[in-house]
Structure 1
Amino acid sequence: MIEETRLKQVAEILRRAGLNDQTLSLLRETFTDLHFTSCLDDDVGVGEPVHRDEDFNIYLVDGRSHCLKLTNDLDGATGLLLAQVEDED
């Protein structure tokens, strides 16, 4: 389960620090009960982000069963997929 306030905290950290290896390490150290994964938003393919921002989107991950899957259910979420949005220039 991921609380809405925790999701907002992660989004604010990403907004201020950017999505990079250092920020990802900080998030893993700060929120030890969550699993964090990152990729480019274009690589996600399916699913809708639970949070949209100019430079990143956040997707919920459900890891309770054998395979990981994207979800929109905060109660079933065990981690976050942080997806970098690239400029379309």
Structure 2
Amino acid sequence: MLEEALLDNLAAQAAQAPLDDARLAELRLAFPGLSLTLCSDNDVPPKLQPVRGGEGFSLYLVDAREHCASLTNDAQNASGVVLALHDDD
């Protein structure tokens, strides 16, 4: 389960600098034990709503309880977060 405060904190910290591989490594250090993945927002199904967002990015939740991980809107079953970068256009 991912707490609202953790998601708020992650979104705030993610917004402090441009998201790239180096910034992702910093966020992983700041949130040990939380699975964080960086991708393009174009890779996320359009029907899924982000749980948080910021300038140039959206946060989506990951449910890894089953054999294959999947995106979810259910924070009760979430174990990770995808940071999805928006296109510049």
Q: State the Cα RMSD in Å.
A: 1.1
CA distance, structure 2, for counterparts of residue 27 and residue 51 of structure 1: 16
Query: 5+ residue gaps in structure 1?
Result: none
The size of the alignment, in residue pairs, is 88
CA distance, structure 2, for counterparts of residue 48 and residue 7 of structure 1: 14
Question: 1:34 Cα deviation (Å)?
Answer: 0.8
- Structure-to-structure mapping, 1:1-89, within 5 angstroms: 1-46=1-46, 47-88=48-89
CA distance, structure 2, for counterparts of residue 53 and residue 3 of structure 1: 18
Query: 5+ residue gaps in structure 2?
Result: none
Q: TM-score w.r.t. structure 1 length? A: 0.90
Identical columns (%): 43
Q: TM-score w.r.t. structure 2 length? A: 0.90
Deviations 1:6-36 (A, max 9, x none): 1111111111112111211011112112101
